[in-house]
């Protein structure tokens, strides 16, 4: 089965065909860095990190770009309130973004361009739109002529006639039409600004992403992604200005993740339920949070509360316990069983996992496949004989799935060093001869080496702990 994804642009599920065979150019809108990211921002980062990981798993060479909006009204206001330099504040929260998303298992993008580093390209982009008649300068500001782009509204499904009803020109705006949007804004006194042909100023929000997509990925890319709230006006305006300039389709596929709610209510500061990731990862294991997020389809609304996170954590622990048992059996059992039937069963589970992920990256259904595997795998472990080849393949399979989902199911470790293996064997012999003093001595010695032993009906098990 080929990868299929739901394309917001066409409002239907489509087979994925990259522009260049085997390669994917993907852009995900990043944060405006004036504060710690909230859990809604984190959902977008996590789900599109998962999409990227799965495309790599399917053999694609993915170039993944996520931007930072590091100059904006919100940043300027936050810097004034904190008495900090604008650029220092933005830099601080860029680092905090990396820390928080890294804790959630999000890999860094191949490129993290910043608005402040892309200013010449933004200015050149705006100049091109003016030259083609799609934009105009007005007393130091520059606006995009929305009605000049015939396809405006094709991404969000809103027409200019629908938008006209509620549109108005705000006090201080110098645009000709209420539907026009800013490409360049003249700076106020004492605001950070850049020189341009029109004024000392800074770019509007929408033009920034268009310029960065064009500079770092090209005129047409495979996938453009972000939160559902960005569909309009941000992504709609990106489409208009990019395609007006290049006369090429901006992106083949548009992906949008669903909203996140807190205890079935919309997250907002006024309701007092605004959850910052930096606070959340101090309270919960970040991998529980990620696993929780991936148990729902990315396009569906996601309700967040403590009970649901803990339930996801319990499921994650169930998988980890199963794999600990697999690894213990692999270390301690002889290879008596014929594993052919179970090797075929593993391939069947792999196929089911891939089918679910191929179907618009349905990680929730894919995780159900994992739990089905664990259920059958536990029955296999209860049998008298197991195949070491099967046990090894189970561990390899979950390691692959963990890489796709960005979750650590178990830490791969080498077998114990030979001298410690010898100690475990010596202790076993001491116990057989009822020399419990020697057995206890060896147990204590291993604990000093960071190895804790547990005697079970199936044999002696061990795990790594902090050294005594």
Is residue 341 in some structural domain?
yes
Is residue 325 in some structural domain?
yes
Domain termination site, one of 382, 405, 428: 405
Domain co-membership, 324 together with 361: yes
CATH number at 379 reads 1.20.120
29 annotated binding-site participant: yes
Which pTM was predicted? 0.87
Report CA 340 to chain centroid distance, whole Å: 37
Is residue 98 in some structural domain?
no
Q: What token pair was written down for 23?
A: 């390669």
Q: Are strands 451-456 and 459-464 parallel, antiparallel or unpaired?
A: antiparallel
CA dist., res. 231 & res. 122, Å (int):
21
Domain that holds residue 422: 418-464
Tens digits of residue pLDDT in 363-412: 999 999 999 999 999 999 998 888 888 998 999 999 999 999 999 997 65
Is residue 442 in some structural domain?
yes
Domain co-membership, 423 together with 355: no
Segment among 31-45, 158-172, 363-377 with least mean pLDDT: 158-172
What is the predicted pLDDT for the residue at 370?
Answer: 98
Domain co-membership, 435 together with 394: no
Tens digits of residue pLDDT in 288-328: 999 999 999 999 999 999 999 999 999 999 999 999 899 88
Domain co-membership, 380 together with 457: no
283 annotated binding-site participant: no
238 annotated binding-site participant: yes
Average pLDDT over residues 158-176: 69
Is residue 197 in some structural domain?
no
What is the predicted pLDDT for the residue at 377?
Answer: 96
Contacts of 277 (CB under 8 A, 6+ apart): 36, 37, 38, 39, 41, 42, 100, 101, 103, 104
74 annotated binding-site participant: no
Q: What angle do CA 145, 151, 157 make, to 5 degrees?
A: 110
CB distance 28 to 44 below 8 Å: yes
Average pLDDT over residues 78-90: 95
Domain co-membership, 327 together with 383: yes
Is residue 352 in some structural domain?
yes
Is residue 372 in some structural domain?
yes
Tell me how far CA of residue 192 lies from CA of 71, 74, 77, 202, in angstroms: 8, 13, 11, 8
Domain co-membership, 391 together with 424: no
Domain co-membership, 358 together with 396: yes
Given a cut of 80, is residue 163 above it in pLDDT? no
Domain co-membership, 394 together with 331: yes
Average pLDDT over residues 109-125: 98
Domain co-membership, 324 together with 398: yes
Q: What token pair was written down for 158?
A: 């809103």
Question: What b/e sequence results for 111-142 when a residue is b if at least 16 CB atoms lie within 10 Å of its CB, and e otherwise?
Answer: ebbbbbebbebbbebbbbbbeeebbbbeeebb
362 annotated binding-site participant: no
Q: How many domains does the chain have?
A: 2
Is residue 456 in some structural domain?
yes
């Amino acid at each position: 089965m080929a990868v299929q994804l739901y394309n917001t642009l066409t409002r239907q599920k489509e087979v994925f065909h990259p522009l260049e065979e085997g390669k994917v150019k993907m852009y995900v809108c990043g944060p405006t860095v004036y504060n710690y990211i909230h859990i809604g921002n984190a959902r977008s980062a996590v789900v599109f990190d998962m999409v990227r990981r799965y495309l790599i798993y399917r053999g694609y060479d993915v170039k993944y770009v996520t931007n930072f909006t590091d100059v904006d009204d919100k940043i300027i206001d936050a810097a004034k309130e904190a008495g900090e330099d604008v650029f220092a504040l933005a830099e601080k929260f860029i680092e905090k973004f990396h820390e928080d998303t890294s804790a959630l298992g999000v890999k860094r993008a191949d490129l993290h361009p910043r608005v402040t580093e892309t200013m010449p390209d933004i200015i050149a982009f705006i100049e091109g739109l003016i030259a083609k008649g799609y934009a105009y300068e007005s007393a130091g500001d520059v606006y995009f002529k929305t009605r000049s782009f015939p396809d405006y509204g094709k991404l969000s499904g809103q027409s200019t006639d629908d938008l006209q009803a509620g549109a108005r020109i705000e006090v201080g705006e110098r645009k000709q039409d209420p539907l026009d949007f800013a490409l360049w804004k003249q700076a106020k006194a004492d605001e950070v600004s850049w020189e341009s042909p029109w004024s000392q100023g800074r770019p509007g929000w929408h033009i920034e992403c268009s310029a960065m997509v064009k500079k770092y990925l090209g005129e047409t890319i495979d996938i453009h992604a972000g939160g559902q709230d960005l569909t309009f006006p941000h992504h709609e305006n990106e489409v208009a200005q990019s395609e007006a300039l290049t006369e090429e389709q901006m992106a083949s596929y548009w992906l949008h993740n669903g909203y996140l709610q807190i205890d079935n209510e919309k997250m907002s500061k006024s309701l007092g339920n605004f959850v910052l990731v930096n606070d959340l990862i101090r309270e919960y294991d970040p991998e529980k949070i990620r696993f929780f997020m991936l148990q729902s389809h990315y396009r569906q609304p996601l309700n967040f509360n403590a009970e649901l996170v803990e339930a996801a954590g319990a499921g994650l622990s169930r998988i980890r316990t199963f794999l600990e048992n697999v690894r213990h059996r692999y270390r301690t059992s002889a290879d008596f069983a014929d594993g052919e039937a179970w090797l075929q069963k593993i391939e069947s589970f792999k196929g089911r996992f891939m089918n679910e992920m191929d179907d618009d990256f349905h990680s929730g259904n894919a995780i159900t496949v994992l739990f089905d595997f664990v259920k059958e795998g536990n029955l296999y472990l209860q049998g008298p004989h197991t195949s070491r080849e099967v046990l090894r393949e189970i561990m390899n399979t979950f390691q692959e799935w963990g890489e796709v989902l960005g979750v650590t199911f178990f830490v791969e470790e080498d077998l114990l060093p030979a001298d410690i293996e010898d100690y475990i064997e010596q202790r076993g012999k001491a116990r057989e001869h009822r020399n419990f003093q020697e057995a206890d001595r060896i147990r204590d010695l291993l604990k000093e080496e960071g190895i804790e032993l547990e005697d079970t009906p199936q044999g002696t098990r061990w795990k790594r702990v902090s050294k005594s």
